[in-house]
Structures are given as structure tokens and as C-alpha cells.
Amino acid sequence: MSSFSLLDLPSLFQYQFFVFALVGGALAAIVSAWIGLFLILRKESMLVDGVAHTAFGGVALGLFIGIDPMLGALAVSTVSVFGITYMRRKGLAQSDSAIAVMMAMGFSLGLIIISMAGGYNTDLLSYLFGSILTIDQGDILVLVSLAVIIISFMVFFYKEMLAVTFDEDGARLQGIPVNALTMAFNLLVALTIALSIQVIGIILVVAMMVLPGLTALQLKRSFKSTLIASTVFGTLAAVLGVMLSTIFDVATSGVIVFTAAGIFLFVAFFQRLG
Amino acid sequence: MENIIEVQGLTVRRGTTEAITNASFEIGKGDYVGVVGPNGGGKTTLVLALLGLLPKTSGSIRILGQEIEGFKQWDKVGYVSQYAINFDSQFPLTVKELVGLGRVNQKNLGRFRNKDDWNAVDEALTMMGISDLKEKRIGQLSGGQRQRAFVAKSLVSKPELLVLDEPVTGFDPITQEKFFMQLANLNQKKGITVLIVSHDLAAVFCRMSRVLCVNREVHGSAITDGKVPDDLLKKGYGEHFHFAFHDHRCQGVFIDEQL
């Protein structure tokens, strides 16, 4: 453990890497919590895990051909999420099988590219486990832009997305363009995963998208309150996670996930007591 | 009388089976129609086809005077599916939020809901007598309350046609009676055409003005003074079917109008 004391915490704010990590973590947490709550209610939580693992192939591809690995991750995540949806809709595979197929394909793509490149490198590992403390101003700008796109869509189509999530057939009958909204939402899922990978890493991205929503659902409130609570819990986990990991000098992504899990257990326990 | 629904030579296939064969019938404005028939006879298939949720194989369906293919006024049609009340009870939705979803349609895509929308929600809640439940989560409601909440959701867009698929399954007689009285009220006082899929033949013959008997073929008849059209039921349920029903039982159904 480091010799850092809590009294030294304010001094951390003079370091740009720390401020960027807090801002980046909070942004990723907000969009993950919003998208994650809809995924939980659509019973598609494992879609995140499958698509995130598929993104490994995209990151490897990006590094190999010399483009931004996040672009590679975004491209492969998008193909993956649409592939899974297509297989499910056309009856080619059940949801879990479709996810397994795409996950295996994405990972295999990564392995093939790694072997062609002559082995692992540190960049690739940083995408597997996240590298929030290394994000710079450019990354923050990308994160802000993506967050604005995702949040704008979710704000403007809030009522439509809620209607589709609650009752797809009913929404279709009401004239809501269910297929177009589902496609747009899938694209946002891919975007959120690509955005969160840098913060939390491929392996743990599912936790950041699912735990805040799951925690908020324990409160048994209205949808609007649940969405707000989910955002608060996600942001709290990211901010506390960055601070605690800096204080104790341990892996940030791991601490963020453990903090989110701790908040979940705390809320679930007190809800049951009440 | 103006027709709300006109069906000509409708055939609907589900997989390799012909679920509805060459059906032709009309439903007039202000009708209160019961759809009856044996399990697997095609009642839900017929309803889904009328709502455009299931493709027809042949024939034509006209709703509010327009061919279903080009029909856009779905806000004029309210629908409560037989699975409506079997939602995930953990879904974080209040009654007010649920009913508010009934105001979401193609016309207000991407627009924030305004005061008129929320006034319509309050009106629908009052119509179904559940204003006091509006802040409750839907998972906390009883079966009867849930069903009324879903009907309120389908009423909030001020429909001309209300379609309910087996809405009273599992209800106790008093809850069922209250529910049917509210529907009769909507039909008579608001002039909403109501179409209900039901296995409760007594309720259909006592309450409703028309019956459609569905068993692949669709046969329709008016109901006068609770009289059972025996021939019609035999076509749907089989030659050996005899419904032991006496119209004086209708008085028993309306046992307490103060319910």
C-alpha cells in the first residue's frame, strides 16, 4: 500500500491525469448507466459482455493496421451487435448462442492478428484492463462528443425507448418505429462499449453497464427515479474508484468495479432491512 | 351504420396452418362485440391480423374506412393484449408512467410531452377509477387494478376502437363484474367501439351487442335480449355443443349495479 493519506487527497487535483481520469470516468459512467438500465430491462445484459469481448478483435485490428484502436473497437462492436440482433431475429440462434458465436469470432480475430504481429504488446493489454489514468485531453474531447450524442438521443427518444423496452408489440401498434429505434439503440450500445473500454477495459465493461442499473432497481421507484439513481450510482462508483485506486495505488478498473459492487450490496442490504 | 372494421375474404396462415379461413364480417361504430370460440380456434390470430401485427395471407381489412396497408391512425385504436398483465413485475414503472406511454405515437416522435398529454393521462385514470393509484408501481397492483391501468393506457389517445384479448382471465366474479361495467360505460357513454376476446359466454351474451364465433371460420351474429344464437355456437364449438344458458341469468350478473 502507498504511504498516501486522505489529507493528501486535495493535492491530487493539481495533477492533470487525475482530473482527466475523474472526468473521463464520470462521463463513461453516466452513459453506461443510462444504456445499461435499458439493457437490463430488455434482458440483454450479457449482450454487453459478448460485444465487449468481440471488441478485442477490433482493438487488435486497429493496432495492427495503425489506426486508432478505439475506431477498430467501435467498428467490430457495431458489426457484432447487429450480427447478434440479426441472428436472433431471423431465428438462426437464441440470444445466448448468438452472443457466444460473435464473442468467439471477435476473440479469434484478435488472436490471429496478435500471432501475425508477433505477440502481445502493452497497448493491447491496456485495452483489456482499461487505462483511465493515461487518458489525455484528446480522449476527453472524444468522450465528451460521444457522451453528448448518446445522452441527446436518450433524452429526445426517452418516451419512445421506454415504450419499446416495456412492450415492443404495443409500441409497434402505436406507430412507433420500433426497428429504427432498436437499430439506433444497438449503435449506441456499441458506441458506449467502445467509449467505456478505455476507462474500464474489455473484461470489466459489463460491470460498469449493469451494476448501477441493478443497484437503482433495488430502490423500487418510478422509471425516471431509477434512471437518475442509476446515473448517480455509476458516477459515484467511477469517482470513488479513481480516488481509492490512486490512494491505494492499485488497478483503477478493478477498484471501480469493486466500488460499484459494494454500493450494490449496501443498497440491496438496506432495502431488505427497510 | 358506419363501419369501424370491414373484413372481406380474410385468410391468415401461421406457419403451415391456416388459422383463419376466408372470413368476412363488419363491426359497426358503437358495437360492443364479443369474440368467442374454442382454444386454438384463431381468436387471437384474428385480433392480431385486424391490428396489423400479423400479416394476412389474402383478403382485405379496412379500419376506419382505410385499407390496413396504408392505415396510419393507430392512435385511434387501443389494444390490451392477453399477456399485458403478465409483465415483469420488477419493471420500474408507475401507473402514471404506464398510462403516459399510451400518448407516445408517430406524431409526437422525439417531442417532450406537454400539459395536454398529462391532462389526458389524468382523464384516462379517472375514467378507469384508478386516479388514487397513479404513483404506485405497476408491480404492486392487483390483477384487476393492472388490467384497468392497461385499459387506461389504451384510452389515453382517445381511441374510437378498443380491442381487449381475454381481459378478465383469472379475475374473481366481483372484479370481473366491475371491469365489464366500466367497459359498458365506455361503450355507451363515450361511444367507443369495444371488441373483447373472451371465454365467458354468459358475459358475452348478457353484456354485448354482437358476437363473432371463431374456429378457423368466423361467424357473426347480433345478440338480442341475451338470446344465445345456438346455431352459431355449434358452428364454432361443434355440433354436439349445447350451451346451457338462460337469459334470466343475466339478471344475476348485474346483481349489484353499485359495485
pLDDT tens figures, B104-160: 988 888 899 999 999 999 999 998 889 999 999 999 998 888 988 999 999 999 999
Distance separating alpha carbons of residues B205 and A203, to the nearest angstrom = 62
- Whether the per-residue pLDDT at A191 is higher than 50: the answer is yes
What ipTM score was computed for the predicted complex, to two decimals? Answer: 0.86
- Say what the pLDDT of residue A2 is: 56
From B96's Cα to the closest Cα of chain A, the distance in A is 9
Question: Maximum Cα–Cα distance for chain B, whole Å?
Answer: 57
Q: What percent of chain A has pLDDT over 90?
A: 49
Q: For B139, which DSSP code? A: G
CB-CB contact of A34 with A152 (8 Å): no
Tell me: pLDDT of A77 over 70: yes
Q: Which DSSP letter does residue A67 get?
A: S
Those residues with Cβ within 8 angstroms of residue A168's Cβ, 6 or more apart along the chain or in another chain: A178
Measured between beta carbons, which residues in chain A are less than 8 angstroms from residue B95?
none
Using one digit for the tens of pLDDT, what is the confidence trace for B183-226? 888 899 989 999 999 888 888 888 888 999 999 999 888 887 76
Which of A163, A166, A173 lies at the smallest CB-CB distance from B79?
Answer: A173
> What interhelical angle do A45-65 and A122-129 show, nearest 10?
160
Q: Does B86 touch chain A (CB under 8 A)?
A: no
List, for residues B155-174, the tens digit of each pLDDT value. Answer: 999 999 999 998 887 777 88
CB contact under 8 A, B137 and A220: yes
| Chain B residue at shortest CA distance from A43 | B88
Give the torsion through C-alpha atoms of A31, A36, A41, A42, to 10 deg. 100
Res. B65 pLDDT band, cuts 50 70 90: very high
Mean pLDDT of chain B: 87
Over 90: is that where the pLDDT of A133 sits?
Answer: no
Dihedral over alpha carbons A255, A257, A259, A261 (to 10 degrees): -150
Q: Using a CB–CB cutoff of 8 Å, tell me whether B117 touches chain A.
A: no
Taking CA atoms, B103 is separated from A36, A40, B106, B156, B200, in Å, by 25, 24, 10, 6, 31
| Residues B151, A168: Cα–Cα separation, whole Å | 17
Nearest to A229 by CA among A274, A271, A184: A271
Burial B46-69 (b: 16+ CB within 10 A, else e): bbbbbbbebebeebebbbbeeebe
User: How many Cβ atoms sit within 10 Å of the Cβ of residue A221?
Assistant: 16
Kind of pairing between the strands at B66-67 and B58-63: antiparallel
- For residue B181, give every residue at least 6 positions away whose Cβ sits within 8 Å of its Cβ, in sequence order, or none: B257, B259
B78 close contact with A: CB closer than 8 A: no
- C-alpha distances out from residue B121 to A109, B77, B101, Å: 52, 16, 9
Is the CB of residue A226 less than 8 Å away from at least one CB of chain B? yes
> What's the one-letter identity of residue B232?
L
More confident residue, A68 or A161: A161
pLDDT at A4 (0 to 100): 66
Reduced to 3 states, what is the DSSP secondary structure of residue B229? coil
- Any CB–CB contact under 8 A between A179 and chain B? no
Q: How confident is the model at residue A129 (pLDDT cuts 50, 70, 90)?
A: confident
Flag the least confident range among A138-142, A265-269, B85-89: B85-89
pLDDT at A233 over 50: yes
Compute φ and ψ for B135, nearest 5 degrees.
-90, 0
Going from the N-terminus, what domains does chain A have, and what CATH number goes with each?
6-273 (1.10.3470.10)
Task: Verify whether the Cβ–Cβ distance B92 to A225 is below 8 Å.
Answer: yes
Q: Which of A43, A45, A159, A224 is the best mutation test for B, with the most CBs of B within 10 A?
A: A159
Q: Give the whole-angstrom CA distance, residue A147 versus residue B246.
A: 67
B98 at interface of A, judged by CB pairs closer than 8 A: yes
User: Cα distance from A171 to chain B (closest Cα, Å)?
Assistant: 8
Q: Find chain B residues with C-beta within 8 A of A216's C-beta.
A: 92
- Give B243→chain A minimum CA distance, Å: 35
The per-residue pLDDT for A189 is 92
Establish how many alpha carbons lie within 13 A of residue A174's alpha carbon, considering only the half-sphere containing its beta carbon: 29
What is the value of pTM for the model shown? 0.86
* Residue among B81, B91, B139 whose CB faces A166 most closely: B91
Asked whether the predicted pLDDT for residue B253 surpasses 60, the reply is no
Cβ-Cβ contacts under 8 Å, A180 against chain B: none
Among A159, A175, A223, beta carbon nearest to B74: A175
> Per the structure block, which three cell numbers stand in for A150?
448518446
Closest-CA distance, A99 to chain B, in angstroms, reads: 23
CATH T-level assignment (fold) for domain B3-64+160-253: Rossmann fold (3.40.50)
CA-to-CA separations, A1 to A244, A249, A262, B238, in angstroms, rounded: 11, 7, 20, 82
| Strand pairing category for B17-28 and B3-14 | antiparallel
Q: With an 8 Å Cβ cutoff, is A91 touching chain B?
A: no
Position A175 pLDDT exceeds 90: no
Our separate counts of H helices and E strands in chain A read 13, 0
Per-residue pLDDT at B182: 86
CB contact under 8 A, B106 and A170: no
Nearest to A239 by CA among A2, A4, A12: A12
On average, the pLDDT of chain A sits at 89
Which residues does chain A have within 8 Å of residue B68's beta carbon, measured at their own beta carbons?
none
The answer on pLDDT for B255 being more than 50 is no
Taking an 8 Å cut-off on Cβ atoms, the answer to whether A159 and B100 are in contact is: yes
The C-alpha R_g of chain A, in whole angstroms, comes to: 19
A-B CB pairs within 8 A amount to: 80
For the cut 90, the answer to whether the pLDDT of residue A200 exceeds it is no
- How many Å apart are CA B229 and CA B220, to the nearest integer? 10
Determine the pLDDT at residue B248: 53
Share of chain B above pLDDT 90, in %: 53
